[in-house]
Structure 1
Amino acid sequence: MKLVTFKPAGSTPQLGVVVDDRVINLVEASDGRLPGDMRSFLELGEEAMALARSLATPALADRLGVPLDQVRLLAPILNPSKVVAIGLNYMDHVRESGGQVPTLATMFAKYPSAIIGPGDEIRWDPELTSKVDFEAELAVVIGKKAKGVAEEDAYDYIAGYMNCHDVSARDLQLEKGDQWIMGKSLDTFCPLGPYLVTRDEIPDPHNLAIRCEVNGVAYQNSSTKELIFKIPYLIAYLSRGITLLPGDVITTGTPDGVGAFRNPPVFLKHGDVVTVEVEGLGRLTNPCVEVRSGGR
Structure 2
Amino acid sequence: MRLPKLGWVRIRWTRPLGGRLRNATVLKDGRRWYIAFCVEDGLVELAPNGKPPVGVDRGVKVAVVTSGGWMCDREFFTPGETIRLKRLQQQLARQRKESMRRAVARAKLARLNARIRNRRADFLAWTANRLTRDHGLVVVEDLKVKNMTASAKGTMERPGSRVRQKAGLNRAILAKGWRGLLTAWRRDVRQRRQGGARPVERGRRAGAAARTGLHRGLLAERYGVRPADALERIEAVAAGEEEAAVLGVEPGVPVLAITRTTSDEQGRAFEFSQDVFRGDRTRVLVHVSGATGATHSAREQGRLVRFPEVTG
TM-score, normalising length from structure 1? 0.28
Q: Which has the higher contact order (CA 8 A, sep 6+)?
A: 1
Bigger-Rg structure (1/2): 2
TM-score, normalising length from structure 2? 0.27
